[in-house]
């Protein structure tokens, strides 16, 4: 059962630390924060399943723009290679809680030691086998906002879940009309 109202994404970890919420769904990027600041033992689990498992994926991407100069492209590639090297990706995962971005990162001595000392760190990695592509469409931010507005309406009780999702779909259809 969800308490009436909205739990703001940005306050979720603080609400968890203060006992205002017993369970939270948040980014793995909060894992190190939770580990350092939760004044109680906590657990981590895969998302529940119904007909099939799934997991949202997201995070930052690296882009090299085609209109960049050759020097800018070379510098970008150098940075991307450095940032995604197994050792750097492992350190980023350990320092932040984000899932290390490659199997090779999980094979580094540092990441193996971290996962052995703190097994919850491997849960999100293990769930990746069930991952599906994140929502991606034309005008993605506007369509996502329509969905989030519908979720908020359902959670605050201003609309039934069916009404909220029907309205979200109608708004998405309106936004995407020119693409059909």
Instruction: Give domain status of residue 60, yes or no.
Output: no
Positive or negative, the CA dihedral 35, 40, 44, 47 is: negative
Per-residue pLDDT tens for 14-34? 989 998 888 888 888 889 999
The tokens describing 106, both together, are 């999980």
pLDDT for 38 equals 94
Closest by CA to 60, choosing from 96, 86, 36, 87, is 96
Closest by CA to 128, choosing from 94, 92, 99, is 99
pLDDT for 1 equals 54
Indicate the average pLDDT of the chain: 89
Per-residue pLDDT tens for 37-66? 999 999 999 888 888 887 777 777 888 999
User: Which residues have a Cβ under 8 Å from the Cβ of 143 and sit 6 or more positions away?
Assistant: 135, 137, 171, 172, 175, 176
**In the predicted structure, residue 133 carries a pLDDT above the cut 90:** no
Please tell me the least confidently modeled range out of 3-7, 12-16, 107-111, 160-164: 3-7
pLDDT for 8 equals 73
Task: Give me the number of domains the chain comprises.
Answer: 2
99, 27: one domain: yes
174, 118: one domain: no
109, 21: one domain: yes
135-160: average pLDDT = 88
101, 17: one domain: yes
Residue 133, SS3?
coil
113, 127: one domain: yes
Instruction: Give domain status of residue 55, yes or no.
Output: no
82, 143: one domain: no
105, 161: one domain: no
The tokens describing 142, both together, are 């506007």
- Residue 146 banded pLDDT, cuts 50, 70, 90: very high
108, 168: one domain: no
Measure the CA–CA gap between 13 and 30, rounded to whole angstroms.
Answer: 8
Measure the CA–CA gap between 165 and 149, rounded to whole angstroms.
Answer: 9
What domain range includes position 170?
134-180
Instruction: Give domain status of residue 152, yes or no.
Output: yes
């Amino acid at each position: 059962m969800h308490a009436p109202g909205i739990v703001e994404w940005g306050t979720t970890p603080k609400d968890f630390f203060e006992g205002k919420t017993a369970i939270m769904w948040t980014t793995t990027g909060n894992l190190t924060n939770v580990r350092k600041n939760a004044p109680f033992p906590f657990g981590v689990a895969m998302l529940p399943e119904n007909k099939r498992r799934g997991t949202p994926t997201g995070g930052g991407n690296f882009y090299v723009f085609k209109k960049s100069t050759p020097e800018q492209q070379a510098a970008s590639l150098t940075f991307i290679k450095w940032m995604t090297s197994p050792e750097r990706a492992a350190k980023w995962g350990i320092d932040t809680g984000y899932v290390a971005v490659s199997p090779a990162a999980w094979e580094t001595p540092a990441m193996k030691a971290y996962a052995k000392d703190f097994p919850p760190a491997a849960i999100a990695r293990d769930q990746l086998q069930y991952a599906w592509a994140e929502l991606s469409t034309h005008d993605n931010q506007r369509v996502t906002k329509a969905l989030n507005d519908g979720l908020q309406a359902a959670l605050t009780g201003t609309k039934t879940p069916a009404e909220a999702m029907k309205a979200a779909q109608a708004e998405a259809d309106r936004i995407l009309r020119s693409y059909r």
